[in-house]
Amino acid sequence: MAEVGIAAAAAALGVSGDTVRRRIKRGELVSRRTAGGRVLVTVPDDLVGTAGASAIPAATTPAGVDPGPLRMELEHTRAMLGEVRRRAGALERQVERDAEEREQLRRLLANAQQQLGLLLPAPNTTLA
């Protein structure tokens, strides 16, 4: 894996710089900011130096096939994957919140049952 600037990453992936920034924000691409403030994006070594080329390696594209539609489909699939990951993360957080809420309700119920047990007369006791 190589670290390149946003423009080089965009060229290597066959997308715009804005798309690279969106993918970074969604967590689909790994990046880091240098001490000087430059953003470096991690891309596969085989894509570095392929400015303007498709993100699909040439070896996987059959001869005579236009990679444009494949690139668009790949882009769409990546966007869908990012959305699925976002939703999965939101659902995981909701499950955790629900579990915490159920545990809190169990504690409250146990406390209320204990307090009620102290207030109620024991069974088989005659009230005067």
pTM score: 0.40
Mean pLDDT, the chain cut into blocks of 10 residues (128 residues total):
87 88 90 91 72 45 68 85 90 95 95 83 64
CB 78 within 8 A of CB 23: yes
Q: Check residue 48 and give its pLDDT.
A: 64
Place of tokens 């915490």: 100
Q: Which CATH number describes the domain made up of 1-53?
A: 1.10.1660
